[in-house]
Amino acid sequence: MPTASRIFSSSIRKLKLPILLTRNPNILDENTQLTTLNVNSVGPKEIDFIRSQLGSITKLIVPNVLWGLVASKSPSIKRIIFHNYNVNDHCAYSKTNSNRATGYAHIKSKHRPFTSTLGTIKTYAKKIYDASENHIENQTIEETYPNLKFLYCHDSSYFNDRVFYKEYLFEFLNKNKEYRQQSHKEEQDMDKEQEKLKEFINEMAAIGVPIYKSSECKTISDAVDKIGFTYRDSGLFTNHTGVVLDISSLSNEFKYAGLKLLTLTINDPHSNVSRSTTSNMPIEPIITKTTTTSSDLGGPVTISGDLFDSVNSFGFKTIKTIQIGSQSCLNVVDLSVYSNSFICQLGPISKMSNNQQFTNIPILVTIEGATSNNSTILFNYDVPSISNIYQNGSKIYFEGELLGYSSQISKTWISVSNSTMINNSFVPTQIDIESLPLVSNRSSVNRKWIVQFRIPNNFKSGLFNFFISNHNNQLISNSVQLSIKADIGEISTPQTKGDTLTIFGALFGNPISIKFTNRPDIKNTSNPMLIDSSTIIVNISPGSGQNIDLELNVNGVITSKSFRYHEPTITSVTPISRHGGVITISGSNYDVNNTSVFIFNTIGCNTTTIVNDTTIYCQVKLNGSDTLKFGENLNVTIIVNTQIVISSTLNITSITGGQETNILRIVLPIERKKKKRSLQFLTFEKIKSSTTLLKPVQ
């Protein structure tokens, strides 16, 4: 291959290089962004070449992966293909039991040895993404890693330290003897390559790319959490014999969690040596979800996951234990058949502990001897949950579970936000816990939390989002929405002649509109005026009655309350005679359109004249010989649009009335001193002052 510094155009996207990479690493233009790259192996001479392409490669092909593990964690790389003449069939690539893994490498072993009459076939594998069911979690985890991560892991127990780094990234399989026989010059070259590899490893480590030394890979599962793949070695011999296992007949065993006893016997045809190894292979349960419980009382906890079976492969009930932090979760039972969930009873946090841990507590689930490992699902006490929210006047009430404790009320926060306010936090006004009847479902709680929150005066009506957090914002509830309404406290009682209506309350603000939904005859005679956040005034038309629905719209949120006009009053009633007459009724709050007058509940006015809101004339005409009882005080009842007032001031004073002054003439004989007798009329006169005078009539 030529040694020109730039052989390929910057537009090239796929590059498959020959078996040996050129010694000139700068064969690409600096602006080149490869998407597919095929290199023979990743050694010192390829390092500089690959480094510049890590950000764009989506498909990487490496024919020689030795017999160790090659894995990748990268948002960009979607596929890895690797081939090897020296097959690594004893290396198993599988999905890890950690949620950090988003995929796994799966070996499709179609290798045939050189002795096969059909010829050899290379082993290959590909990276499969989306192995987790939680795609959002996958994306989040991918984004936490640098662009590309490689783990080249090798058991170096058979090699000396001089070639330590060589065996990571360079072709070094079954050539131990050849390297030991290299010349001194070759060893010097190797030392230079080693220094270059050290530089690369340090550079990758500086940006967060883990490359583990072989001493850390004696059990390669040590690296599982960080890289996302599990390497399982079925037994290595000094001559690196590859072992292919057909476990299809045992597939049912791997569907159940537990320790699986494996015995591997290998006969070496070259040395006629037979070797056996026995080990317990753990099929670990995988935790996917957990509930919470109260830190002060404890309670039931439900834990769900994969391989959470109620019976094992033989149909027997599984033996299972659950450890949460330092506590054993007791009485572990299945939530239900085939639910993949267990429920157990967890005690409260010890009040005697100086280091009380409420959050991020590790969970260990052991089934048939196999324990969940490195789970990212952690347990938290007191995770709040809101089931209902409502407003009552100037307070908001939250109902739910684990919404805080009155003894630690300062550690419970209510966060409020809307389009103009973001996450303002407030301490609750009050926290109450109600006891509920126990239910048969063991996963149910027997307490209900009620949290009160007094709405600040500077709040305005509108749609708000709420959530509650415990333990200084470490544990956050679900978010709920509520349209906060203006709180109407009192409404004044206007006069019937038309008056200023005053509305008192809270959370008032502009814009404002008011209407009377069940009384369209009542109108606003002025625009509503906001005095402050607690007072609104508006002038209204004349009217009367009670139970009038006022609808107040503040900032698009409607609230209602009823009010009434001032009830009528009677201050005076003029008298009438036994035969009727005209009554003048004086008082207040009469409605010229809707007022009725009754005498003694049965006698109506023949003619009622409502002069204004303070004066009424009532003419009473009796039929035929009907008369009223002299000297009696009768009730006068006035009804103004369902509002009633009664007065007992109507006086029956004479038999001939009809006016304010009634005169009764009576002829009486009077004895004079003269001889002749004569008659003189005396008159009893009733005047307004109710004084009776005896006057002679001339």
Per DSSP, the residues of 269-336 read TTTTEEEEEEEEEEE--EEEEE----TTT-EEEEEEEET--SB-TTSPBPPEEEEETTEEEEEEEESS
Question: What's the one-letter identity of residue 103?
Answer: G
Residue 531 sits in a domain whose CATH number is 2.60.40.10
Same-domain pairing of 213 and 225: yes
Look at residue 266 and tell me if it is in a domain.
no
Rounded to an integer, what distance in angstroms lies between the CA atom of residue 396 and that of residue 455? 7
Question: Residue 374's pLDDT is what?
Answer: 83
Show the tokens assigned to 247: 């476990």
Same-domain pairing of 391 and 449: yes
Look at residue 116 and tell me if it is in a domain.
yes
431 closest CA partner among 416, 411, 446: 411
325: left (phi over 0), alpha (psi -120 to 50) or beta: left
pTM of the model: 0.49
Long-range contacts of 47-50 (CB under 8 A, 24+ apart): 47/169, 47/196, 47/197, 47/200, 49/21, 49/25
Please report, for residues 417, 498, 521, 522, 547, the alpha-carbon distance to residue 517 in angstroms, rounded to integers and kept in the order given: 32, 18, 10, 9, 11
Per DSSP, the residues of 537-589 read EEEE-S---S-EEEEEEETTEEEEEEE-PPPPEEEEE--BBTTEEEEEEEEE-
Tell me the Cα Rg of the chain: 49
Same-domain pairing of 201 and 139: yes
Same-domain pairing of 131 and 69: yes
Out of 217, 241, 265, pick the residue that ends a domain.
Answer: 241
Show the tokens assigned to 422: 């973001």
What are the mean pLDDT values of the chain's consecutive 10-residue runs (698 residues total)?
56 72 61 76 58 67 48 44 40 34 35 45 38 48 39 30 32 36 53 57 47 36 31 35 54 79 67 70 90 90 91 85 93 87 90 73 93 90 93 91 88 84 82 70 65 86 89 87 90 94 91 93 93 93 94 90 94 84 90 86 82 91 74 84 82 52 40 44 37 36
Look at residue 131 and tell me if it is in a domain.
yes
Give 77's strand partners: none
Look at residue 435 and tell me if it is in a domain.
yes
Same-domain pairing of 24 and 97: yes
Question: Residue 440's pLDDT is what?
Answer: 47
Domain count for the chain: 5
Out of 450, 465, 484, pick the residue that ends a domain.
Answer: 484
Same-domain pairing of 404 and 472: yes
Count the neighbouring beta carbons within 10 Å of the beta carbon of residue 425. Answer: 11
SS3 category, 443? coil
Same-domain pairing of 576 and 537: no
Count the neighbouring beta carbons within 10 Å of the beta carbon of residue 452. Answer: 15
Same-domain pairing of 591 and 474: no
Look at residue 36 and tell me if it is in a domain.
yes
Same-domain pairing of 620 and 686: no
Look at residue 180 and tell me if it is in a domain.
yes
Q: What is the enclosing helix (H) or strand (E) of 381?
A: none
233: left (phi over 0), alpha (psi -120 to 50) or beta: beta
Residue 439 sits in a domain whose CATH number is 2.60.40
Look at residue 678 and tell me if it is in a domain.
yes
Out of 522, 544, 563, pick the residue that ends a domain.
Answer: 563
Same-domain pairing of 614 and 627: yes
Supply the range of the domain harboring residue 465.
385-484
Calculate helix-pair angle for 184-206, 44-51, nearest 10 degrees: 30
CA 496 to chain centre: 51
Q: What is the enclosing helix (H) or strand (E) of 105?
A: strand 103-108
Compute the half-sphere exposure of residue 39: CA atoms within 13 Å on the CB side of its CA: 22
Rounded to an integer, what distance in angstroms lies between the CA atom of residue 489 and that of residue 326? 54
Q: What is the DSSP letter of 255?
A: G
**Which parts of 15-122 fold into alpha helices (H)?**
44-51
Same-domain pairing of 624 and 671: no
Question: Residue 26's pLDDT is what?
Answer: 62
CB 646 within 8 A of CB 633: no
Look at residue 283 and tell me if it is in a domain.
no
Same-domain pairing of 143 and 47: yes
